[in-house]
Amino acid sequence: MPADATPNPTPTPEAGPTTGPTTGPTTGTTTGHAAAAAALAQVPSEPGAAKPDPIVIADNVKRSFGGLTAVDVEHVEIQRGVITALIGPNGAGKTTFFNLLTGFDQPDSGDWSFNGTSLRKKASHKVARLGMVRTFQLTKVLSKLTVLENMRLGATGQRGESFWAAPLKFLWGGQEDENTVRARELLARFKLDGKEKDFAGSLSGGQRKLLEMARALMVRPELVMLDEPMAGVNPALKQSLLGHVKSLREDGMTVLFVEHDMDMVRDISDWVIVMAQGKVIAEGTPDSIMADERVIDAYLGAHHDVDITEMEREIEQEHLEYGDPMGDSAHQPREEEK
Amino acid sequence: MDIISSALHDAFSPFALSFVLAAIGLNVHFGYTGLLNFGQAAFCAVGAYAMGVSVASFDLPLIVGIFFGLVASALLALVLGVPTLRLRADYLAIATIAAAEIARLVFSTSFKEYFNARDGVSGFTRGFRDINPLPDFNGQFLTFSRNDWWVMTVGWVLVALTCIFLWLLMRSPWGRVLRSIREDEEAVRSLGKNVYSYKMQALVLGGVIGAFGGFIGGLGLASVQPDSFNTDFTFIAFTMLILGGAARILGPVVGAVLFWGVLSGVGSTLARLSSGDNPIIPPDLMGSDQVSNVRFMLAGLALMLLMIYRPQGIFGDRKEIALDAR
Ligand SMILES: Nc1ncnc2c1ncn2[C@@H]1O[C@H](COP(=O)(O)OP(=O)(O)OP(=O)(O)O)[C@@H](O)[C@H]1O
Ligand SMILES: [Mg+2]
């Protein structure tokens, strides 16, 4: 597996604080992820393809706003223990689909399950407790809490969150300290350790994205759903975050993320699902998706694998060669940029 | 001198105490959890009436009356919360305004054999006064009757205990969830917390603290009357909370004391200036009979200035307010 051989930027205590063993549920002799990814190789590249070990299965999930059908997913499965990317043009229904899956919005019809438990009509907090945690495209940090308090809030099973235990610090102080240690480790991973005491509202846009992602991990999710996690994060940090997301996978976590940055999708995802106008129009490994006609038409655009300045140079070249004064017929809009 | 002493007298009186407790309850609702309860008067009234009627009409011991008062206010919180707390914040606001008016009308027009219409309930203070160990208070320039002095002692001890309890609660993970709900409910839900249940707990807690305000007010005046629980009651309590600083433990306490102190001080100053044969304020501008209205106008003006120049209140944190602008 050449993709996994890339060195992890921060190889230190990843395995330590996280709960599960480093091997996922589908353990063979290799790591959980390698086995799961290998299993994906057998899956046909077609919309609604059945996976060998799905963690989420959705059927006929429909949601319309007035006359507009925002989501109309016939059948989709998310493989356990791998990183799945959900891509598609603006307004394709990706965020709405996230909202539906996690109970933040109610569908007109449809059913879906997580680990075999049906989540239809499950309240959003129960979905999170089952181990399916999401972040928001428009970040939701708690501005008037400090960064560290934001993190602590994420921890589950806190004794001090019950009314009767709350005034008695000796009942929850120890647990709070443990949570704080873990929160600091995560903050360090996300390069927010210097900001611990600041109000979250004072963070920059990109830092808020990072905080939200780190906070979601405090819940110790089995499946983490990230809505455009890298939007507004600078390239250097993006690189190291990619490493972190991969390390989540090594720890047996399943990741589903929405992203418009195709380099990132190509780099870390094992599987790609493409939505357009509410429907799943294609599925497959990153390479097969990038080559798929429909995906190029609906989303990527003809020049998707060309650097933008390079593309402009090419177009200029064409003008020179053919002496076409206007020549903008060759200039396709790049939809992949936000 | 007597202006200051009467201001101090009013600021710590049993009447002010009922507002202190009502405002502390509102602080739990609005300051910490972001719940818009515009009917705190209803919680105080229901508590006070349940206590008063239990003792006056049914001859139950005071402590049982207090117990019923607490149960009644908790039930009111449940009745108001169950249908509205899943909805947007404004629904609770509307429901609580309505509940406060309904409660006041019921107390002033229905079940007259128990509630005695506008005269209200009285004759329930015996059990409380019998255990009064204190003499009259005759200080340097403050005097309180034995009864007032006893109500004040109990009341201020109660305020202190409530503040300590809230301080313990609000620094805990439980308090953290409340403060987070005030910021963004959905974020809290996405982390697996049952927001509805926490909001309900906050509504009950703040309502029960409000009921204590009703008890103290009732015991102080030796009667419980419907008109003391009109909508002004809630809005004055809100004013005190914002004056002192919301989401600060001592905010509502200091706000309430200051509010009554200043209101009473301004009132007696104006009265002094506008009375006599040759008043300093010309009678055409303000007669001495208009003092009590004018002082509320001045209070409103002061509140506006406060909101402009110190929107976080006396105890608030400027940095927090600045975040709202981002
Ligand atoms: N609450 C709503 N009310 C009405 N229409 C909505 C609502 N939420 C989403 N939509 C519509 O549903 C469609 C899908 O929106 P959605 O936010 O899911 O897109 P998306 O795939 O996440 O897009 P992007 O990549 O821009 O984030 C859009 O056309 C949008 O206008
Ligand atoms: Mg979106």
* DSSP per residue, A68-126: EEEEEEEEEEEETTSEEEEE-STTSSHHHHHHHHTTSS--SEEEEEETTEE-TT--HHH
Tens digit of pLDDT for each residue in A87-109?
999 999 999 999 999 999 999 99
Task: Identify whether A56 is part of a domain.
Answer: yes
- Candidate from A25-39, A155-169, A282-296 with smallest mean pLDDT: A25-39
Task: Identify whether A226 is part of a domain.
Answer: yes
pLDDT at A328: 45
What are residue B104's phi and psi, to 5 degrees? -65, -40
| Mean pLDDT for the stretch of residues A137-163 | 93
pLDDT at B324: 59
| Mean pLDDT for the stretch of residues A241-267 | 88
Token pair, residue B167, equals 């301080």
pLDDT at A275: 92
Task: Identify whether B326 is part of a domain.
Answer: no
Task: Identify whether A62 is part of a domain.
Answer: yes
pLDDT at A19 over 80: no
Q: Select the residue of A163, A169, A215 nearest B201 (Cβ to Cβ).
A: A163
Task: Identify whether A9 is part of a domain.
Answer: no
pLDDT at A139 over 70: yes
pLDDT at A23: 39
- Kindly list the residues from chain A whose CB atom is less than 8 angstroms away from the CB atom of residue B194: 123, 125
> In this prediction, what percent of chain A has a pLDDT beyond 90?
53
Task: Identify whether B22 is part of a domain.
Answer: yes
Number of domains in chain A: 1
pLDDT at A330 over 50: no
| Mean pLDDT for the stretch of residues A35-52 | 81
Task: Identify whether B283 is part of a domain.
Answer: yes
pLDDT at A9 over 60: no
> In this prediction, what percent of chain A has a pLDDT beyond 70?
80
Task: Identify whether A15 is part of a domain.
Answer: no
Number of domains in chain B: 1
Task: Identify whether A327 is part of a domain.
Answer: no
Q: Any idea what the CATH number is for the domain that residue A158 is in? A: 3.40.50.300
Protein residues with C-beta less than 5 angstroms from the ion ligand 2: A 94-95, 137
Mean pLDDT (chain A) is 82
Asked if B326 has any chain A CB less than 8 Å from its own CB, the reply is: yes
Token pair, residue B107, equals 């107390």
Can you give the residue range of the structural domain that contains B70? 2-126+135-321
Encode chain B (326 residues) as per-residue pLDDT tens digits.
677 888 888 888 888 899 999 999 999 999 999 999 999 999 999 999 999 999 888 989 999 999 999 999 999 999 999 999 888 888 999 999 999 999 898 888 888 888 887 788 888 888 887 787 777 777 777 778 888 889 999 999 999 999 999 999 999 999 999 999 999 999 999 999 999 999 999 999 999 999 999 999 999 888 888 888 988 889 889 888 988 888 889 999 999 988 888 888 888 888 888 777 777 777 777 776 777 788 888 878 877 887 788 878 877 776 666 665 55
Asked if B188 has any chain A CB less than 8 Å from its own CB, the reply is: yes
Mutate to test the pocket of ligand 1, among A61, A94, A227, A273 (most ligand atoms within 8 A of CB): A94
Task: Identify whether B37 is part of a domain.
Answer: yes
pLDDT at A27: 40
Residue whose token pair is 């002692």: B153
Q: For residue A313, name the pLDDT band (cuts at 50, 70, 90).
A: low
pTM: 0.86
pLDDT at B296: 82
pLDDT at A161: 94
Can you give the residue range of the structural domain that contains A194? 36-321
Q: For residue A231, name the pLDDT band (cuts at 50, 70, 90).
A: confident
Ligand closest in space to the Cα of A88: 1
Q: Any idea what the CATH number is for the domain that residue B149 is in? A: 1.10.3470
Which range of A231-235, A324-328, B169-173 scores highest in mean pLDDT? It is B169-173
Q: Which value does ipTM take for this structure?
A: 0.86
Task: Identify whether A295 is part of a domain.
Answer: yes
Nearest CA to ligand 1 atom 17: A95
Contact between residue B97 and residue B41 where contact means Cβ atoms under 8 Å apart: no
Q: Select the residue of A141, A149, A199 nearest B176 (Cβ to Cβ).
A: A149
